[in-house]
Structure 1
Amino acid sequence: MHPSNTDPKLDIIFVPARTDTPIGSIVLLHGWGANHDDLGELVPYFNLPEYQFLFPNGLFDHEYSDDGKMWYSFTGAGQLTDLSRTQLATSREVLSEWIQSLPESTGIPLDRTWIAGFSQGGAMTLEIGLDLPVAGLIVMSGYLHPDRPKPQSVAPPVAIVHGTQDDVVPISAAHTSRDKLTAWGVEVQYQEFQMGHSIVPEVLDVIRTFVTK
């Protein structure tokens, strides 16, 4: 699908590298009810000056926030409805096609492109990234969709970071994601910290190491 005038379009914040020759791209996907400005504020703290950053906005307006966006809706119990699944399919298709077009628009190949996401953005990172030939995937306080099929080809390595005190996405979701990905043969780097549903400086250190190793 190629978005037309009636199709959803991605609103992107692009932050160029602080060097003349960037060596990689990092795509960051925000969580449910946030927007692309939310993670964009973290760029200086990643301390990755040779990398360019791209922050797409969720395709759908959040139900309970004037400024919030989402990749798909939840019910109160966090389950997917028919509408949720339709929205998820749309986000999956639009994000996947956009990421595959990045080498042409940025000059950075996919094998030097990382996809990262927080919370629902972490779920979308796994949803699309496991089937793309990117350098790696980073899941912060996220989860694997229960009906997400096994990748058809060799998946990129995955870093999972989660808080043991997370009361939004429980630590058990991280354990489930780790174990299922490992069973699929995916290379998984897993770390948990004494934190809630948040991003602490130690998480940024993990990301920096994962990208630059």
Structure 2
Amino acid sequence: MIMHYNEHTDLSIYHLTHFPESYNPTEKRVHYPTIFALHGHGSNERDLIGLSESLQENLLWVSGRGPVEFASDAYDWYPVNQFGKPDPVLLNQALERIDNFITELLITYPIDPQKFFLLGFSQGSMISMTYLLTHPWRLAGVVAQSGYIPRENNLLVDEEKVKGKPVIMTHGFEDSRMPLEWSLQTRDLLLKFGVDLEYHNFHMDHAISAESLGVVRSWLNKRI
């Protein structure tokens, strides 16, 4: 099946969308569960939108392009000055930019705000999880693939509202980019905050595999 994606330049973040087959633009009362996908370091909006072919079919997908140009056709969500240690000021600016964009999305598209998920890979996974800790009331949950939460982050965590929020993490035993130790530390941090966490490791590198995608699909199907 050929998937069709629409390009959008009219909001604060350039993005692609993919609507469910059942989408009818004349039906204003129908709102859809939605995934906002955030790519990894040095990638772009096309990297994760293809996952819409493999996951729950009734989802509206938004796949954003990081605003910081790293190289030709390669972007980041914030400037990377030191790998694994994002500048707290730059990270918070990125979170504010994401928050503003989510407000725009909810105004622009037929999104069910009670079923609005972030899905991230690598740097996008880190942004997704840190956003959950600071803005938990805006999300139904997070899919975090091959990512981590930096230990030194100066985040203002909403500890009360983050309790019970659903998160699924997947990480490769052989990840050569993001050490497994970082993922395990993030797992423990999320559990400390009372997040409803499902955690999986797979024999893979810094990647998304058919097996890891399978557990994500099952996790989403329970919540859509």
User: Normalised by the size of structure 1, how large is the TM-score?
Assistant: 0.86
Q: What is the Cα-based RMSD across aligned positions, in Å?
A: 1.9
Count, aligned residues: 200
Greater than 6 Å deviation, 4+ residue runs: none
Counterpart of 2:167? 158
* Matched letter for residue 24 of structure 1: P
Deviations 1:8-64 (A, max 9, x none): 930011111122356310111000000011112232122x221110001101001xx
Check conservation: 2:44, 2:73, Cα contact below 8 A. yes
Superposition map of 1:65-144 within 5 A: 65-75=71-81, 77-80=83-86, 84-130=87-133, 131-133=135-137, 134-144=139-149
Equivalent of 2:17 in 6, 11, 14: 14
Deviations 1:52-106 (A, max 9, x none): 10001101001xx2110001222354333xxx44432222111112213433322
1:38 to 2:47 alignment? yes
* Matched letter for residue 138 of structure 1: V
* Matched letter for residue 32 of structure 2: I
- Point out the structure with the larger strand share: 2
Q: Report the secondary structure of 1:173's partner residue.
A: helix
* Percent identity (aligned): 25
Equivalent of 1:194 in 178, 203, 208: 203
Q: Distance in 1 between matches of 2:52 and 2:201?
A: 22
Counterpart of 2:217? 208
Check conservation: 1:13, 1:55, Cα contact below 8 A. yes
- Listed as ranges, the gaps of 5+ residues in structure 1 are 1-7
Q: Distance in 2 between matches of 1:198 and 1:34?
A: 13
Counterpart of 1:168? 177
Q: Distance in 2 between matches of 1:179 and 1:202?
A: 23
Change (3 A) 1:15 1:77: closer
* Matched letter for residue 60 of structure 1: V
Check conservation: 1:22, 1:50, Cα contact below 8 A. no
User: Normalised by the size of structure 2, how large is the TM-score?
Assistant: 0.82
Counterpart of 2:64? 56
